[in-house]
Chains A and B, each alone.
Chain A
Amino acid sequence: AAGVIQSPRHLIKEKRETATLKCYPIPRHDTVYWYQQGPGQDPQFLISFYEKMQSDKGSIPDRFSAQQFSDYHSELNMSSLELGDSALYFCASRSLRDGRSSGNTIYFGEGSWLTVV
């Protein structure tokens, strides 16, 4: 079965540069989540989108922005990168359109490693 696809898997940037991470949700999934996981930490929720509209905002820095496109893929844009932005970034997706009332499962991608030097 198709899973959540993230690209690139690894990215190295210098301080003050800009990086863009991409997420392709599972087909027919309309909701995308972004998470940041620093070394030795638990995943921290950044932001989510439903039907191309931002639905919830977590601890996303003002230097970061994200959007969901008409084909439901999402991009996380990170500017003025800092050393502390080095982390594993996860994207997850689920389908809110699914009519089941049993609680939709959220599926995660394998993550994108960002290293800021």
Chain B
Amino acid sequence: DAKTTQPTSMDCAEGRAANLPCNHSTISGNEYVYWYRQIHSQGPQYIIHGLKNNETNEMASLIITEDRKSSTLILPHATLRDTAVYYCIVRVGNTGNQFYFGTGTSLTVIP
């Protein structure tokens, strides 16, 4: 699986958009980009995933660059409850059974 690089920590003002970047320059053509978050010592929570097109759901938007070497998770209106560690993971969609966490981004939403 491709490795990912994320900033260690970020702050965001409540109500503003939080943009969390992830570099995955060694991603293969059939590897998906997944985003999870972990609120203190709870089970990681699925947010969104994509292959090459931008994706949006009720929680967030995922913007993947055309060369697929990086992506950005966007939380459109951050709330205090969005304070968590956010993990960007790349893996083969339906075949690979390895799902490795890297070092995520600790996002703090500030009142």
Contacts and interface: CB of A to CB of B under 8 A. Distances in A.
Interface of A: 4, 31, 33, 35, 42-45, 48, 50, 55-56, 58, 88, 90, 92, 96, 101-111
Contacts of A48: 97-99
B104 A105 contact: no
Contacts of A106: 34, 46, 99
B49 A103 contact: yes
Contacts of A111: 41-43
Interface in B92-111: 93-94, 97-104
B44 A45 contact: no
B46 A45 contact: no
Nearest to B36: A108
Contacts of B46: 105-108
A96 B101 contact: no
Interface residues of B, number: 24
B86 to A, nearest CB: 12
A91 B100 CA distance: 13
A96 B93 CA distance: 10
Contacts of B49: 103, 105
A33 B101 CA distance: 13
A101 B34 CA distance: 15
Contacts of A110: 42-43
Given A101-B93, A103-B32, A105-B49, A45 B98 contact: yes
Contacts of A58: 98, 100
A26 B73 CA distance: 27
Contacts of B94: 96, 101, 103-104
A102 B104 CA distance: 24
Given A42-B85, A110-B43, 8 more contacts: A42-B102, A42-B104, A43-B101, A44-B101, A45-B98, A45-B99, A45-B100, A45-B101
